[in-house]
Amino acid sequence: MIQVENIIKRILSIKLFLASFLLTVLSFNFLDISIFKATRSMSSLIFSFFKDFIDPLSDIIDPFNIAVCCLIILILILNIKNSLKEPKKLKILSQKIGYKYEIILESLNYYIEMMKHIIISIICAGIVCHILKYVLGVSRPKYFFLEGYQRLDYFNIEHKVNSLPSGHAQAAFTLAILFLIYVNKYTFYVLTLASLMAISRIFMSMHFPSDLILGAYIGVFVPTLIFKIYFFEKIRSFNKDNIFTFSSLLKLIYLKRLV
């Protein structure tokens, strides 16, 4: 948990907030248009990479899909917990999965908290992102360049036009930070993938760089804040030595169908 605590401190720090805010403002005012135009002249191979690989990946690793999966898993876990009240089913499940009742129960409670955190984080981060889109009313590149929309139009009700912050960047970094909080491995690869998913939105003509910066910040800030306030103490209270793996959880869910 020490590494997780360090992650929390960095993400919730004033320094990161100020850095994200300043980078967003500087990019919006001085860099967005020039960077976007520069990407138009890049190699077709780069465009193909983002269009044919990274952008479709964003649709697969979609927060809505993840939230639905987590909700289903949460319901199944609660169903298993209810089944553990029956001694006969408890004995069969314990024998088949190879864990004692205490470990099964603690593991189920741990994964319940995890699923709740993931679902709430995805919902709240998405809400914050879309509220800011409406309030700021920054036009997407294609509407700004091709259809004559103003760069900034506060409280613009044409939601499809609004660009800042990027929902895809927010979603990618929300999932990334949730993964790092609970798995705490492969940090470089996870953040690289999230960054590529965000950058792809520039090549898809959907966003400016400032959109990505603010979207990424919201993506890591909201889940971390929720974790710190509501879940940190609960998660820390579990004995990690008594928590079985996620694959064991899926095995238990499967075995429950046979009992």
Contact yes or no for 206/141 (Cβ under 8 A):
yes
Higher pLDDT, 189 or 98: 189
* pLDDT digits 0-9 by tens, 189-215: 999 999 999 999 999 888 999 999 999
Cα–Cα distances in Å, from 157 out to 65, 77, 129, 142, 170? 26, 41, 15, 17, 20
> Residue 47: which H helix or E strand, with range?
helix 44-49
Residues 6+ apart with CB under 8 A from 141: 36, 163, 205, 206, 207, 208
**For residue 1, what pLDDT is reported?**
64
Average predicted confidence (pLDDT) for the chain: 90
Higher pLDDT, 86 or 185: 185
* pLDDT digits 0-9 by tens, 125-147: 999 999 999 999 999 998 988 88
In the structure encoding, which two tokens stand for residue 136, read together?
Answer: 């700021």
Find the range with the poorest average confidence among 20-24, 31-35, 126-130, 146-150.
146-150
Find the range with the poorest average confidence among 74-78, 81-85, 219-223, 242-246.
81-85
- Return the CA Rg of the chain: 21
The pTM of this model reads: 0.92
Over range 106-133, report the average pLDDT: 96
pLDDT > 70 in the chain, percent:
98
**For residue 208, what pLDDT is reported?**
95
Does 94 have pLDDT greater than 70? yes
Separation CA 129–CA 24 (nearest Å): 14
| Chain CA centroid to CA 198, Å | 12
* pLDDT digits 0-9 by tens, 43-62: 889 989 998 899 888 888 88
**For residue 259, what pLDDT is reported?**
65
Per-residue confidence band for 258, with pLDDT thresholds at 50, 70 and 90: low
Residues 6+ apart with CB under 8 A from 11: 177, 220, 221, 224
Spell out the SS3 assignment of 140-174: CHHHHHHCCCCCECCCCCCHHHECCCCHHHHHHHH
Over range 21-36, report the average pLDDT: 95
Find the range with the poorest average confidence among 138-147, 174-183, 215-224.
138-147
